[in-house]
Structure 1
Amino acid sequence: MSSETLLYIILAGIVALSLALFQYINKRKSMSKLNMLFAFLRFISIFSILILLINPKFNQTTFTTEKPNLVIAVDNSNSIKHLNQSEKVKTLVETISENSELKNKFNLSFYTFGETFKASDSLTFTEKQSNINEAFTQLSQIYKTSNAPTVLISDGNQTLGNDYEFASNTYKQPVYSIILGDTITYVDLKIQQLNVNKYAYLKNKFPVEAIVVYSGNSNVTSKFVVKQGNITVFSQNVSFSKNNNSALLNFNLPASLVGVSAYKAYLVPIENEKNKVNNYKNFAVEVIDQKTNIAVVSTFSHPDLGSLKKSIESNERSTVSFFEPNEFISKINDFQLVILYQPNNKFKEVITKLNAENKNKFIIEGSNTDLDFLNKNNTTYDHEITDQTENYQAQLNLNYTLFLLDDINFESFPPLKSNYGSVVFSVPFETILYKNVNGISTQEPLFVTLETGGRREAILFGENIWKWRSQSFLNSKSFNEFDDFLGKIIQYLASNKKRNRLNVDYESFYNGSGNIVIKAEFFDKNFIFDTRESLQIKLIDKLSKEEKTFPFILKNNNYQVDLSSLPPTEYSFTVRTSKENLSKSGSFQILEYNVEQQFLNANSKKLKQLAVNSNGESYFIDNHEGLITDLLSDDRYQPIQKSHNTSRPLIDWKYLLAIIALALSAEWFLRKYKGLI
């Protein structure tokens, strides 16, 4: 409180006392007890009112004791149940949560992790994957500025995400690892990895590569077998020893039937083998009877050409060939799609023949494109000629309706070099990407598709698309996102199928351990994406004939349904709209595979190293008694007393109003009682 405020309070007291004495004592010669009481009550009333007008502020200091946090992160994946540790985990979690000494010293927080990380103490051990590193990533954000020793209860077997062994580099909390399972080495055969292409071509053979491993000290012999249904299509004897404990098998299988062909590969178990689940692995191949041939016509070399080839051929169903314009004329009917890269007057005969044959084409413009030639030799658009170039970034058009496209973080991509000038279209078109300059959308097209006279075309108004593919890899550590984006455009251009109002995006088969998400899109009669429709998918198990129905949910610019909970088998499905009589049918297969059941032991080495790196401790689940003792005795985890200074105005003190009301009421009542009013 300032000295000025204190002076005002003293003056208020003098004024209040003077007024009270003047009213009750100065008028009378006698100073009776009653008058003195009246004067006192009047002084209290006036002084309190004046104090409210001055409204002084008082500093208040409060002290709170903040306990450290104790984080308990529990592995909720299926491998815990597979290693027969689920009941031990539940008992340990219950012991920690009910320990009164721990609750007095710490704020207990329980989390579970598997595919996802969440705050919960409910344990089901049904998660199909385990991402331990993601748990530490999330916890590092939650407890960034607080003291939070962490108890990690896990078998240490991670199937998803980055290696967690060095999570202490970013997670600055002591980690106490509770190791689930044992470290006894059992005799075990395992299919470590099985590599196979997703697609094969009819009447060809497709390669399969299998890596099989052995854990044990004695010499053993087994047989590696691949079956299609009840038919053995491949078998080979394999021998192992303590030093020769792995084998690489390469073989080819025939693609004789169109459609999805499912196979089961297995190693014949040996005597006393404990875990036989990891001896088996299912895989599938989709056999197709044709290949999409794509021609790229160009008069010069450019990094874009190599990027286009790699991106398109990432889909095994597509092949890319390069031609000079004069070489391509005689082979025009051998290709389903032609990409014209920066055309000039040497392309005249090619474009004339493409128009005559009504062939689909994909034009990529750039700084070497002859715009005058292009304007004269196409009937779909006219590009303003300014003899200037500009760099444009891309912005995805979320209202693009021809097929589903995902935003692959286009705003992070480097700009494309494009010819400056407006483009006027003479036919209807749809924009995939808009031009963006310095973060401002120009609403001018950078990438468009159009359909006219039964022919499909795409035009990209910019070169250096190779930089996009490189940036996509930097963003996601994979080329898949960019390749899928370009693949959908190539698939659309290489086909002349009739456009449908209801489209369903799904795979022919899924691995049982992955997410199974089916996407759909619905358009109104003007082919504008309709968000008002309700879609449902009806599934029929082909073996049991059991029927299930799931609703789609609207997410971004498509409808989605998550079917990850379905058991492995073959399914047929029908997606149907509720308001209009539209439907789309298909089938897919879920392969039986549980990555969480491939483990035989706990990964104690990594869990121990994690504890050492973070200045924590490690314990086996059967010897965890020392955990609570160590946590309670560790001097690093002490409560912190914090002081909080607050400045509160007197007007917030409600009791002062009560005092004023009480003083005035008492004065009035006594005066009334004595007959003075």
Structure 2
Amino acid sequence: MSTQTILYIILAGVIALLLALFQYKYKTKGAPKKSALFTLLRFISIFGVLLLLINPKFNQVTVYNQKPNLVLAVDNSNSIVHLNQENNVSKILEDLKNNQLLNNKFTLDVFSFGNTLHTLDSLSFKEKQTNLDKVFRELTQIYKNTVSPTIVISDGNQTYGNDYEYSAKKYNQPIYPIVVGDTTQYSDLKLKQLNVNKYAFLKNKFPVEAILVYNGEENINTKFVVTSGKNTIFSNNVSFNKTDNSKILNFTLPANNVGVKSYKATLIPTESEKNKTNNSKNFAVEVVDEKTKVAIVSSNLHPDLGMLKKSIEANEQRKVVYLKPQETISQLNDLQLVIIYNPNNSFKSLFEALKLNNKNKFVIAGPKTDFNFLNTVSDYYQHDIISQTEDYQPKLNANYNSFIVDDLDFESFPPLISNFGEPSFSVPFESILYKKIKSINTEEPLLATFEINKRREAILFGENLWKWRSQSFINNKSFNQFDNFIGKLVQYLASNKRKNRLDIDYESFYQGSSNIIISAQFFNKNYEFDANENLNIIVTDKINKTSKTIPFILKNNNYQVDLSDLAASDYTFTVKATSENISKSGNFKILEYNIEQQFLNANISKLKTIANQSNGTSYYFNDYKSIINDLLNDERYKPIQKSSKNIVPLIDWKYLLVLIALSLAIEWFMRKYNGLI
């Protein structure tokens, strides 16, 4: 409390006392005892009111002990069941959670993990993938700058993500793995990896790469075969020994018929082999008879050009060629889409040819664009001609309806650079992304599409798209999400098909270990997205002839349904709207493959490594209870005494208000009782 405030309080006390004495000593002649009591009550009332006006502030200090955290991360993947460890894992978890000594010393936080990290509700051991790398990265964000020793109950086998040794090292917390699963090494043949394109073209041959691995001491002779149904379409004899323990086979298979073709690759196991699940893999290829050809036309070099080619050709159905403006005109009949990058006056003939042939195009306009020229050749939009540039960050339009756009966390993307100014459109258009200038959201389009005269066009006002793809990789550890976004945009622009009131987004086949999400959009008669419709999907197993009906749920500007629980088989489906007689059908295949069943042993070496590098200790099931004493006796994990200081204004002290009200009430009743009122 400042000196000035103390002086104000003293002054308030003097004033209150003088006023009280003036009221009951100077002006009133009565019994001395009663006058003294009335003076005291009046003093309390006046002094209390003056204190509220001064409103002094007091420091309130609270001292408390903060216990260190103890993090329990439990493997909830299907590999625990495959290794027959579900009962052991449940027992370890219950013993640690219910230990009173641990609860007294630590604050226990319990998580389960598979592909992602979750606060533990219950263990099901049904997670289809394990991503320990993501677990440690997320725990790093949660327990940054804290003391949080971490117990990991797992077999240590990871099926997805980067090597978790690096992310565990950056976690900066002691890690105590409790290893579950068989640690004995057995002789094992394994089809470790199978690389094959998703699409193949009719009458061509598509390449396949198989990586075969052997763990053992003896010499082994076996055979690698690929079958389709009951027919063997490829075979190769292979041999392994202790030193020559891996093989890479490269071969091609024919694509003779259009459609999804299923295959099974098998490395014939030995009779003594314990785990035969990891000897075979199912795979599929969709054979198509056409390819989308896209031209990128530019008169100067830029990193965006290579990025666009990479993203578009991530789908093998598409081919990208680089052309100069004059070269493009002679090849227009072979192109489904033309991407024009930073157009200038040299593109004049190309724009005329595109208009004459009613071709779809995608214009990317950055600082090197000649907007005088672009405004001249464009009949549907104009842009302010200002030489000053500006950085624009993207903001997703959640109501975009032309096709399903997933939120890639666009607002985390670096800004694009473009000319300052506002575009104006003379035709109806839809913005996929709005411009965001620093923290200010605008309604100006950054990326927009429109349809006119059975032609589709898109315009992007900005360059440096390559930074977006890089940021997407940083966010997701994969280019797939961004490439899918570019792929959907290209698919939309490369087609002139009339918009349907019910659109379905799905794949022809899915791996058994992946999430199976089908998306849909429903539009009213004005082709506006209808968020009030009830959509249901009827899924029928072609083999078992069983059907089930599942409702869609609304998510942003589309409906979604999760079919990840379906077993491997061939399926047909029909999506129906309940309010109108509108439906759409299709089919897909789920390949039989459980990546969590590819492991025979716990990965003891990896778990020991992360324990040693983090100054922790690894344990096995038969000695896991010793971790309790080790944690209790570890001097690194002591409670920390902390204090919090709050500045509390007197006006928040309710007792003072009660005291003022009480003194006024007593004074009034006493004056009334003595006939002074």
> TM class by shorter-chain length?
0.7 to 0.9
Q: Could you say what secondary structure the match of 1:561 adopts?
A: strand
Number of aligned residue pairs: 655
C-alpha separation between the residues in 2 aligned to 1:652 and 1:365? 64
**Cα distance, 1:212 vs structure 2:** 0.6
Residues 1:230 and 1:344: Cα distance change in structure 2 (over 3 Å): same
In the other structure, the counterpart of 1:402 is 402
**1:567 is matched by which residue type in structure 2?**
A
Rounded to whole Å, the distance in 1 between the matches of 2:430 and 2:62 is 65
Cα contact 1:363–1:458 (8 A) shared by 2: yes
C-alpha contact 1:191 1:279 (8 A) present in aligned 2:
yes
Deviates more, 1:214-223 or 1:485-494: 485-494
Tell me the amino acid that sits aligned with residue 541 of structure 1: D
Residue 366 of structure 1: how far off its partner (Å):
5.0
Do 1:394 and 1:433's aligned partners in 2 also have CA atoms closer than 8 Å?
no
SS at match of 2:503: strand
Contact 1:292 1:494 in 2 (8 A): yes
Gaps of 5+ in 2: 21-29
Q: By how many angstroms is 1:65 displaced?
A: 5.0
Q: Which residue of 1 aligns with 2:25?
A: none
- One-letter identity of the residue aligned with 1:186: Y
Aligned equivalent of 1:177: 177
Aligned residue for 2:171, secondary structure, equals: coil
SS of 2:450's equivalent in the other structure is strand
Alignment partners' CA distance in 2, 1:238 and 1:335: 45
Equivalences for 1:365-404 in 2 at 5 Å? 365=365, 377=377, 380-381=379-380, 383=382, 386=385, 388=387, 390-395=389-394, 396-404=396-404
SS at match of 2:529: coil
Report the structure number with the largest CA radius of gyration. Answer: 1
The CA distance in 2 between the partners of 1:602 and 1:332, in whole Å, is 58
Cα distance in 2, alignment partners of residues 295 and 538 from structure 1: 40
| 1:267 counterpart = 2:267 | yes
* Residue aligned with 2:165, SS: coil
**Equivalent residue number for residue 153 of structure 1:** 153
Over residues 624-650 of structure 1, what are the superposed CA-to-partner deviations in whole Å (9 max), with x where a residue is unaligned? 232222223323334455667888989
Whether 1:88 aligns to 2:111 is: no
Change over 3 Å in CA distance of 1:329–1:618 after alignment to 2:
closer
Residue 343 of structure 1: CA displacement?
4.8
Tell me which residue corresponds to 1:599: 599
Shift of 1:532: 1.8
User: TM (normalized to structure 2)?
Assistant: 0.83
Compute the displacement of 1:363 (Å): 3.6
Distance between the aligned counterparts of 1:196 and 1:392, measured in 2? Answer: 41
Q: Which digits, 9 at most, give the CA deviation of each residue in 1:241-273, with x for residues without a partner?
A: 000000001111111221111111111111211
Find the counterpart in structure 2 of residue 535 from structure 1.
535
More moved, 103-112 vs 252-261: 103-112
Could you tell me how far apart the structure 2 residues matched to 1:589 and 1:505 are? 15
Q: Which residue type is aligned with residue 547 of structure 2? A: E
Find the counterpart in structure 2 of residue 20 from structure 1. Answer: none
Show the 5 A alignment for 1:62-211: 64-120=64-120, 122-211=122-211
Conserved 8 A contact 1:61-1:644? yes
Distance 2:251 2:529 in 1: 47
Matches within 5 A, 1:232-381: 232-299=232-299, 301-343=301-343, 347-365=347-365, 377=377, 380-381=379-380
AA in 1 matched with 2:245: N
Structure 2 CA distance, aligned partners of 1:199 and 1:392?
39
1:4-83 alignment, distance < 5 Å: 64-83=64-83
Unaligned runs of 5+ in 1: 17-25, 29-34, 672-677
Q: Distance in 2 between matches of 1:422 and 1:46?
A: 70
Matches within 5 A, 1:459-608: 459-473=459-473, 475-608=475-608
CA contact (8 A) 2:393 2:438 kept: no
CA distance in structure 2 between the partners assigned to 1:517 and 1:432 by the alignment: 22
CA deviation map 1:124-177 (0-9, x unaligned): 211111222333334344444543332221111122334332445443432222
Amino acid at match of 2:505: D
TM-score (ref. length: structure 1): 0.83
8 Å contact kept, 1:417–1:464: no
CA RMSD of aligned residues (A): 4.2
**Cα distance between partner residues in 2 of 1:435 and 1:281:** 46
> SS state of the match for residue 164, structure 2?
coil
- Pick closer, same or farther for the CA change 1:240–1:348 going to 2, 3 Å: same
Partners of 1:231 and 1:102 lie apart in 2 by 60
Change in 2 beyond 3 A, CA 1:127/1:306:
closer
AA paired with 1:488?
K
Matched, 1:629 2:629: yes
